[in-house]
Amino acid sequence: MKLSSSEFIEVRGRRCHVRCWGPLAAPKLFLLHGWMDVSASFQFLVDELARDWRLLAPDWRGFGRSQWNDDAYWFPDYIADLDVMLAHYSPVHPARLIGHSLGGNAACLYAGIRPDRVERLVTLEGFGMRMSNPGEAPERYGKWLSDMRAPRANNRYADRAAFAARLRRANPRLKQEQADFLALHLGAERDGTIEIAADPYHRLPNPILYRVDDAKACWSKVVAPVLWVAASDSFIMKTFADESGRADYLSRIACFADIRVETVNDAGHNLHHDQPQTVARLIEEFFP
């Protein structure tokens, strides 16, 4: 297992943790994790990379070892936080970004908003969210207001072994040693029990409906080459399975001027856990 080190930087009023692997002088890759996840979950992918890289993986605000908001979270904050992190770690050179799920969505939007700041981009199952209907807005706002006033807490587990077992139930492809590793880094001790290392405010419903046309407008401005990687058995891809879903999926891909699309077989949404060797190969083929 490749060893990592930790750094902490100030990002828009939050103390944020950044996990680092590899030689300081090696080419930089930025690894952006997904929702209810942490930077350490890239470890299995990192271990499969054959070349020397300086790998920089932040814990997004409110996740892992980064400072919590203790209040609602807004998606544009991830984009603004990424902008600050890239200014800190790569102030001159455009960045090479790899994002999973939430991280991939943030990276794709950022690449269209700041096209001069991104050299190349890999999105792992970060394809935008489902199209929303404006009629959902009143109920969504109402639920958000109610949940803001309700007590917030994450699920608790007796110990890390119990948490690892829960992770394996959620993803049966996880090997025991992978689950044990994730339980160590994704779990946090609280009152003699283990809970996920994330601010429970992250579980609030977002009152702002997702507008896919806004995302497409940003994606259409991306000039960097994009590697778009799907997992054959993911719940994300199931949402695009019918005829209308397939048309929606293809319309999203069509927004990018320079895109290569790949599918990783025998993998769910966490494809970098299920098939890290395959994902590592695709990444190192993509980055010169």
- Using CB atoms within 10 Å of the CB of residue 68, give its burial: 0 to 12 exposed, 13 to 18 middle, 19+ buried: middle
- Of the chain, the percentage scoring pLDDT greater than 70 comes to 100
213 pLDDT above the threshold of 90: yes
pLDDT at 151: 85
220-256 pLDDT tens trace: 999 999 999 999 999 999 999 999 999 999 999 999 9
DSSP 22: S
Q: Are 121 and 45 in contact (CB under 8 A)?
A: no
137-172 pLDDT tens trace: 999 999 999 999 888 889 999 999 999 999 999 999
pLDDT, averaged across the chain: 96
Angle, alpha carbons 109-40-30 (nearest 5°): 35
Q: How far is the CA of 63 from the CAs of 39, 50, 135, in angstroms?
A: 9, 28, 32
pLDDT at 67: 97
What is the longest distance spanned by two Cα atoms in the chain?
52
Q: Are 171 and 268 in contact (CB under 8 A)?
A: yes
40 pLDDT above the threshold of 90: yes
pLDDT at 152: 84
The residue among 283, 76, 43 whose CA lies nearest residue 179 is 43
111 pLDDT above the threshold of 90: yes
- Using CB atoms within 10 Å of the CB of residue 256, give its burial: 0 to 12 exposed, 13 to 18 middle, 19+ buried: buried
- Of the chain, the percentage scoring pLDDT greater than 90 comes to 95
Residue 241 CB partners (closer than 8 Å, separation 6+): none
187-190 sheet: strands from edge to edge: 156-157, 193-196, 187-190
User: 198 forms bridges with which residues in the sheet?
Assistant: 63
91 pLDDT above the threshold of 90: yes
- In whole angstroms, give the CA distance from residue 9 to residue 181: 25
Which pLDDT band, with edges at 50, 70 and 90, does 205 fall under?
confident
Say which amino acid occupies 27. Answer: P
Q: How far is the CA of 184 from the CAs of 64, 175, 180, in angstroms?
A: 11, 14, 6
The domains of the chain, with CATH numbers, are: 5-131+211-286 (3.40.50.1820)
